[in-house]
Amino acid sequence: MKTVTLYDTTLRDGTQSQEVSLSVLDKIAVAEKLDDFGIHYIEGGYPGSNPKDKEFFERARKIRWKNSTVCAFGMTRRVGKKVDEDANMKALVGAGTPVITVVGKSWDFHVTEALRTTLEENLRAVKETVAYLKRHTGKVFFDAEHFFDGYKLNPKYAMKVLEAAVDSGSDCLVLCDTNGGGLPSEIARIVKEVRKATAIPLGIHTHNDGEMAVANSLAAVENGATQVQGTINGYGERCGNANLCSIIPNLQLKMGREVIPRGRMKNLSALSRYVAEVANMGRWIHQPYVGEAAFAHKGGMHVSAIRRHPRTYEHVEPEVVGNRRRVLISDLAGRSNILSKIQEQGLKFRSGDPGTEKILEEIKELEHKGYQFEAADASFELLARRAVGEHKPFFELKGFRVIDEKRSEREDPIAEATIMIDVDGKVEHTAALGNGPVNAMDHALRKALEKFYPEVSEVTLLDYKVRVIQQGGTGSSVRVLIRSGDKESTWGTVGVSHNIIEASWQALVDSIRFKLWRTRLAEGGEQGE
């Protein structure tokens, strides 16, 4: 099996995404996860550009890395400046990394327009920079910026830049599609031509402006590249960098290239989620391999087929990349969806069971009213348990009232909720304030329940969405989706009504009841009434 090395630039190129900002501690945490996963090279940042990156390298030197080599990144020496007097060169060497990656211009247009210098001066800068860094560190990787654009317009000069880096001691030539406009056929042809011209290892660094970054990276590997650069989840400037979460399984599972030990592939989805959480980025549920919807099945015919054999509608087993199969429930659902979803929840139903038909009809009726269960697994499970007589409501609403008061233009509104509930014949009547009516109602409900069910305090409301589903001005029907969680997991619930407070109440109550039900199951307690 041919080996390809992985070079992660999430901590440098990934942070150029307009939404991503990582602290020093964030960068260390992500780097340690990448190391655990088995990434070969981790680009930590640009030590000459800011104090944060300088501190990262100071901390990184004290860590014993198990699988990864940390790399510093920088640019060729400044135009007209002596290399040993350039502060950025000193900062790169001072980072103390065993590998330094340096980027230089390989497109003549960029040399004359961006650097505003001569083609010969640029070649001297490449030679002197690589030679200087090679004297002070173990390996030097040369990133040929805008290489493919430069090669297409002036191949002779682009190759001269590579030759300058090779002659000065570069250990790897990384060909960059910096503007992200290349096509796989172009990348394949040019990499093949460069491969014939030099024996130095080649790398590939692509951007996603044409939605081709992953395809271009794979095309480069097919034609001789042995190092692939990219970021976790494809984070990066403009449209992002090549997504390693897609490249890694494609290389190993589809192309037979050894990139990480096979036992670690099952950690890929967890790595994707971890980096998204640290970067405070929403997850792309349709992301290939690692997204929540990557192995989700909704059409009844599809579900019926995958119950017989998963390969009918899945290109790999989800468990291989640490993901899981999900069956979605909707008005498209047939009996196969219902049975698969019920089995997924650990409930016992048999084909032909009248309870299945009951759930199917109830779902179709609810979805006609505007409910959706794709993102509301907890609401679906409660619905199914009611159908099989395994439902315990835990409390009964006696009534609630919500007041939203604004006393002047200059003051924020005040929201107060009053709730009366019955728990096994004991009535609790309480009130709470909140920063809005739903928040006040959430506080009041928890306040009323915590003396009976202390575990309610563990529930956190993570996300709250409202969508208009029937157009009717201010009298429209709305659907409320709530994402809740505790220390162990997250779950979704749904509510629908013409009244946004009522829809929110439905979703809130399902969220709390699901937590209580799951706690009782874990403790081996009551299964129902």
- Residue 476 structure tokens: 């429209």
Q: Which helix (H) or strand (E) holds 360?
A: helix 354-369
User: What is the end-to-end Cα distance of the chain in Å, rounded?
Assistant: 59
CB 386 within 8 A of CB 409: no
Least confident residue range of 231-240, 301-310, 452-461 = 301-310
* Sheet strands side by side (includes 396-405): 396-405, 414-423, 426-434
Task: Place 42 in a pLDDT band, splitting at 50, 70 and 90.
Answer: very high
Residues whose CB is less than 8 angstroms from the CB of residue 457 and which lie 6 or more positions away in sequence, other chains included: 446, 450
Task: Place 470 in a pLDDT band, splitting at 50, 70 and 90.
Answer: low
- The pLDDT of residue 376 is above 90: no
Residues whose CB is less than 8 angstroms from the CB of residue 45 and which lie 6 or more positions away in sequence, other chains included: 11, 12, 15, 27, 52, 53, 56, 57, 72, 73
- Amino acid 381: pLDDT: 85
- The pLDDT of residue 69 is above 70: yes
Q: How large is the average pLDDT for residues 390-413?
A: 86
- The pLDDT of residue 47 is above 70: yes
The pTM score is 0.70
- Amino acid 246: pLDDT: 98
Task: Place 349 in a pLDDT band, splitting at 50, 70 and 90.
Answer: low
- Residue 105 structure tokens: 């211009």
Residues whose CB is less than 8 angstroms from the CB of residue 528 and which lie 6 or more positions away in sequence, other chains included: 385, 389, 390, 391, 392
* DSSP characters over 68-112: -EEEEEEEPPPTTS-GGG-HHHHHHHHT--SEEEEEEE--HHHHH
Cα separation, 9 vs 235, whole angstroms: 9
Tell me which DSSP letter residue 253 carries: I
- Amino acid 238: pLDDT: 96
Task: Place 392 in a pLDDT band, splitting at 50, 70 and 90.
Answer: confident
- Amino acid 329: pLDDT: 55
CB 323 within 8 A of CB 267: no
- The pLDDT of residue 44 is above 60: yes
- Amino acid 43: pLDDT: 98
The residue ranking higher by pLDDT, 445 or 385, is 445
- The pLDDT of residue 374 is above 80: no
Q: How large is the average pLDDT for residues 466-481?
A: 72
- Amino acid 528: pLDDT: 39
**Identity of the amino acid at 14:** G
Cα separation, 428 vs 446, whole angstroms: 11
Burial profile 301-337: b = 16 or more Cβ within 10 angstroms, e = fewer: ebbbbbbeeeeeeeebebeebbbebbbbbbeebebbb
- The pLDDT of residue 389 is above 80: no
- Residue 313 structure tokens: 């509608």
- Amino acid 305: pLDDT: 67
- Amino acid 370: pLDDT: 79
Cα separation, 304 vs 294, whole angstroms: 18
Using a 10 angstrom Cβ sphere, with 0-12 exposed, 13-18 middle and 19 or more buried, the burial of residue 254 is exposed
CB 180 within 8 A of CB 238: yes
* DSSP characters over 398-419: EEEEEEEE--STTSPPEEEEEE
Average pLDDT of the chain is 88
Q: Which of 406, 453, 399, 454 is nearest to 431 (CA)?
A: 399
- Amino acid 526: pLDDT: 46
- Amino acid 529: pLDDT: 36
- Residue 241 structure tokens: 């960098």
The residue ranking higher by pLDDT, 342 or 251, is 251
Say which residue the tokens 């040993």 belong to: 84
The residue ranking higher by pLDDT, 281 or 101, is 101
- Percent over 70 (pLDDT), the chain: 87
Q: Which of 44, 81, 39, 76 is nearest to 61 (CA)?
A: 44
Q: Which of 399, 499, 395 is nearest to 450 (CA)?
A: 395
Cα separation, 234 vs 208, whole angstroms: 8
The residue ranking higher by pLDDT, 349 or 207, is 207
Helices 437-449, 500-522: axis angle to 10 degrees equals 30
Burial profile 53-86: b = 16 or more Cβ within 10 angstroms, e = fewer: bbbbbeebeeeeeeebbbbbbbbbbbeeeebeeb
Q: Which of 15, 144, 27, 136 is nearest to 83 (CA)?
A: 136
- The pLDDT of residue 302 is above 70: no
Q: Per-residue pLDDT tens for 236-252?
A: 999 999 999 999 999 99
- The pLDDT of residue 260 is above 60: yes
- Domains in the chain (CATH in brackets) are 5-278 (3.20.20.70), 296-369 (no CATH), 395-452 (3.30.160.740)
The residue ranking higher by pLDDT, 392 or 528, is 392
Q: Which of 476, 451, 21 is nearest to 278 (CA)?
A: 21
- Amino acid 335: pLDDT: 56
**SS3 (DSSP) at 367:** helix
Q: Which helix (H) or strand (E) holds 43?
A: strand 41-45
Q: What is the 3-state secondary structure (H, E, C) of 418-468?
A: EEEEEECCEEEEEEEEECCHHHHHHHHHHHHHCCCCHHHHHCEEEEEEEEE
Q: Per-residue pLDDT tens for 107-117?
A: 999 999 999 99
